A and B are shown apart, each in its own frame.
Chain A
């Protein structure tokens, strides 16, 4: 794709790598926040090409991975109702709840459908007026605008058989929570470019200042990631901690004001539990009172469902960057993409799944 392939060019990548090697004089630990970046780093083998001592810690930015177990269980409870068509992004279907997953519900006759856009779910609602259509609205600031627009559109069109199970999460409070953790080793952040393309970069200077960490807004193609890493390392070597933008072609400082206005109208900030990590204050969005009629949790009365995590799974430690996926005792043994114990082994953006898919050669041998 024009304007995309250029950002995978091996010769240019080699040049940035040379500059990185020339920059680094000592070990550094960087965190890429976003699961899409984790996927790209492992898929292209970028971390293998960095200087010894430069470590990439994989952050909690996989929306599938951090969606709390009890929300999954509520989704399962709603999806198995005979009057419901349950619509979701594809990779949520295999995420294990406390007992089963959406695929299992589907195989038992539940009407579970994969959609590419929440607007598809509204169309399904219009086409099936005798059914309740529910969309599983999860994700970071990236997927939130389309979900907000969908709820607003359903309200405008007067569609009463549509609702959304909302569990949105926000990046800046998570960055703060990681830095507040006593075991934190992160010295610099690659901020998720797509989040910033919506929200802008305005939330980050205070974080960089408070925690003395460089934060570099970074894209997703190999060259984007390498340049984000390079800029972060240059700051660290020079003792600076500023917000820089290495993804200017997609991220204006102000973000996308139209999307922000839609988000402010439809959602309100709330405390949110992150799967494997725990509750982070002010780290989520839920539907605002004006849209309460579209809240699936209320419509189907599932707020009482509360559940606990598997004891074996250490996805919380992985998501906080405390251990690498293969340092979990269950990795590649009890826990594989086929039989995942935790969500990090499910999504292709999950750190455990990425390690399993692409790194098994070194990690568990043949």
Chain B
């Protein structure tokens, strides 16, 4: 399954390789007319989006995509992407927008099939930036084996936006017998993560204006449906899956505890936080457990399946760092508690909003 759908790795993308095709060269920046629905819009679709999506799009330009009806239950998800900066070590907003929605589908066990792509572009955005983003989306979709079947572009004036915002919605099909959902965690279940946490958020922060601290961290942006398919294929009764994006590991665990009405106990020293993430978070006054991930999942599985689930994850290129971090417990329902390295305990809380860097 994983070979078939690809790992979604985007590190080999050549962002510099995109060159503006002829009809667009007269306007090296996006202007309001590119969203006007006229000839300029058509040129943008013909000369920028369709070539960029060539490997992953049927290329038909009706008002809606007409698709065959797949057998089984549908999974449907949407997400908007506003990350700044748009390009960061290990990826960009384009591959993030594909992988993110693919992952949202995968977390219900679905095989992702189709994605829509909606762009809101601020006038003045470099055409080459939009081209690089679209190219990254095309490559990520091809790697993930999903089709970009319909799309839309609007241009807004300077005062209404900055750069490119992307919305993707996705449809997938859930195989018969697969029941993965946030309410299914049960006492005695085991909590697994697929690898190092905090990587994506630190990669993005490392290139934010004024925050150059020389870290080498690259985003973990990747499509996880192959990893999920392997777990399902191995016959593991996966109870809950979450990709810990915004709010990080802390938010995912808190949401699971609340949805299932159970307690979760996490062993702090078992949570894999790479040294460079811990150092960067230490310098910035942030909690790595609350930092976003874009290529990791949290899995809650029955204790009897835990070892097999770990072996299965570790055999997949995106799960080599999989490890057990905690247990579902009867005590403290709806609350996540960490056992600290020193032997104390602390409550893990849902982050309130954005993490605020501490003063000192």
Q: Which residues of A contact B158 (CB under 8 A)?
A: none
Beta-carbon contacts of A156-175 to B below 8 Å, as 1s and 0s?
Answer: 00000000000000000000
Stretch at the interface among B11-19, B109-117, B233-241, B332-340: B332-340
**CA separation between A140 and B340, bound complex, in Å?**
29
User: Which segment, of B45-53, B224-232, B274-282, faces chain A?
Assistant: B274-282
Please provide the chain A residues from 62 to 88 with a CB less than 8 Å away from any CB of chain B in the complex.
63-64
Provided the pairs A360-B335, A360-B347, A361-B347 are in contact, do residues A347 and B358 lie with their beta carbons within 8 angstroms?
A: yes
A348→B281 CA distance, assembly (Å): 14
Of A14, A36, A44, A123, the residue contacting B344 (CB under 8 A) is A44
Contact of A361 among B282, B335, B356 (CB under 8 A): B335
A20 to B309, CA, bound (A): 43
Given A1-B278, A94-B356: A46 in contact with B210 (beta carbons within 8 A): no
Residues in chain A near residue B334, CB distance under 8 A: 366
* A2-53 contacts to B (CB < 8 Å): 4, 8, 10, 13-14, 36, 42-49
Are B346 and A63 within 8 A (Cβ)?
Answer: no
- The verdict on B311 contacting chain A, using a C-beta distance below 8 Å, is no
When distances are taken between beta carbons in the complex, the residues of chain B under 8 Å from A143 are 359-360
Whether, in the assembled complex, B345 has its beta carbon less than 8 Å from a beta carbon of chain A, the answer is yes
Chain B residues with CB under 8 Å of A337's CB are 349, 352
The count of chain B contact residues (Cβ–Cβ below 8 Å) is: 31
Also in contact, A45 and B345, with CB within 8 A (given A1-B275, A348-B358, A360-B335): yes
The one of A36, A45, A92, A347 that contacts B346, using a Cβ cutoff of 8 Å: A45
Closest-CB distance, B4 to chain A (whole angstroms): 41
By the criterion CB–CB under 8 Å, are B357 and A366 in contact?
A: no
Bound Cα distance A1, B278 (Å): 8
CB-defined interface of A219-240 with B at 8 Å, one 1/0 digit per residue? 0001000000000000000000
A93/B356 contact (C-beta < 8 A), A1-B278, A45-B345 known? yes
B337, A361: Cβ atoms closer than 8 Å: yes
Chain B residues whose CB sits within 8 angstroms of the CB of A8 once the complex forms = 341-342
Stretch from A113-121, A199-207, A261-269 at the B interface: A113-121
Chain A residues lying within 8 Å of B275, measured Cβ to Cβ, are 1
Known: A1-B279, A49-B344, A142-B360. Is A361-B332 also a contact (CB below 8 A)? yes
Interchain nearest-CB distance for A139 vs B (Å): 6
Q: Which of A1, A46, A138 has the most CB of B within 10 A?
A: A1
B279 contact set on A, CB distance < 8 A: 1, 4
Q: How far is the CB of A355 from chain B (nearest CB, A)?
A: 10
B211 CB within 8 Å of chain A: yes
| Bound CA span A43–B346, Å | 6
Cβ-defined contact, B360 with A357, below 8 A: no
CB contacts (< 8 Å) of B347 on chain A: these are 357-361
B210's closest neighbor in chain A, by CB?
A: A120
**Contact residues in B for A120 (Cβ distance below 8 Å):** 210
Docked complex Cα distance between A8 and B278 (Å): 13
Q: Which of B263, B278, B282, B341 is the most central at the interface, judged by chain A CB atoms within 10 Å of its CB?
A: B341
Partner of A46, one of B269, B337, B344: B344
Contact with B along A324-366 (1 / 0, CB 8 A): 0000000000000110000000011100000011111100001
A359 touches B352 (CB 8 A): no
Nearest Cβ in chain A — how far from B149, in angstroms? 37
Q: Is B70 an interface residue (CB 8 A)?
A: no
Q: With an 8 A cutoff between CB atoms, is A248 at the interface?
A: no
CB of B346 within 8 A of CB of A10, answer no
State the CA gap A356–B347 with chains docked (Å): 8
Residues of A near B210 (CB, < 8 A) are 115-117, 120, 123
Task: A123 to B210: give the CA distance in the assembly, Å.
Answer: 10
Residue ID in chain A nearest B268 by CB atoms: A44
Instruction: State whether the Cβ of B120 lies closer than 8 Å to any Cβ in chain A.
Output: no
B340 touches A366 (CB 8 A): no
Q: Is the CB of A36 within 8 A of B360?
A: yes
Which residues between 169 and 216 of chain A lie within 8 Å of chain B, taking CB atoms?
A: 194
Partner of A48, one of B345, B352, B358: B345
Q: Does B178 contact A (CB under 8 A)?
A: no
Chain A, Cβ-Cβ closest to B263: A366
Max chain A CB contacts within 10 Å: which of B210, B347, B360? B360
* A89 located at the interface, meaning its Cβ lies under 8 Å from any Cβ of chain B in the complex: yes
**Residues on A with beta carbons closer than 8 Å to the beta carbon of B341:** 8, 10, 13, 44, 222
Closest beta carbon of chain B to A191's beta carbon, Å: 15
With an 8 A cutoff between CB atoms, is B177 at the interface?
no
A128 to chain B, nearest CB (A): 13
Q: Does A271 contact B (CB under 8 A)?
A: no
Q: How far is the CB of B178 from chain A (nearest CB, A)?
A: 32
Asked if B349 and A116 make an inter-chain contact with CB atoms under 8 angstroms apart, the answer reads no
B207 within 8 A of A: no
How many whole Å from A41's CB to the nearest CB in chain B? 9
- CB of A42 within 8 A of CB of B346, answer yes
Q: Is the CB of A46 within 8 A of B357?
A: no
Bound-state CA distance A366–B263 (Å) is 10
Report which of B333, B344, B352, B360 forms a contact with A194, defined as CB distance below 8 A: B360
Check if A114 sits within 8 Å of B357, measured CB to CB. yes
CA distance A63 to B285 in the complex (A): 15
Q: Please, which residues of chain A bring their CB within 8 A of the CB of B343? A: 10, 14, 45, 49
- B271 interface hit (Cβ, 8 Å): no
From A41, which residue of chain B is reached at the shortest CB distance? B344
Contacts of B269 in A (CB 8 A): 10
B284 adjacent to chain A (CB < 8 Å): yes
Give residues 298-345 of B contacting A (CB, 8 Å). Answer: 332-335, 337, 340-345
**Can you list 11 A-B pairs with a CB-CB distance of less than 8 A?**
A14-B342, A14-B343, A49-B342, A90-B358, A91-B358, A138-B359, A143-B359, A143-B360, A348-B356, A357-B346, A361-B332
A139-B360, A348-B285 known; 14 other A-B pairs, CB under 8 Å? A1-B275, A1-B278, A10-B341, A49-B344, A63-B359, A90-B285, A91-B358, A91-B359, A347-B358, A349-B358, A357-B347, A361-B345, A361-B347, A366-B334
Leading 10 A-B pairs by shortest Cβ distance: A45-B344, A358-B346, A90-B357, A90-B356, A89-B359, A91-B356, A1-B279, A48-B344, A45-B340, A360-B347
Question: B residues near A, CB below 8 A?
Answer: 210-211, 263, 269, 275, 278-279, 282, 284-285, 332-335, 337, 340-347, 349, 352, 355-360
Interface of A toward B, CB cutoff 8 Å: 1, 4, 8, 10, 13-14, 36, 42-49, 63-64, 89-94, 114-117, 120, 123, 138-140, 142-143, 194, 222, 337-338, 347-349, 356-361, 366
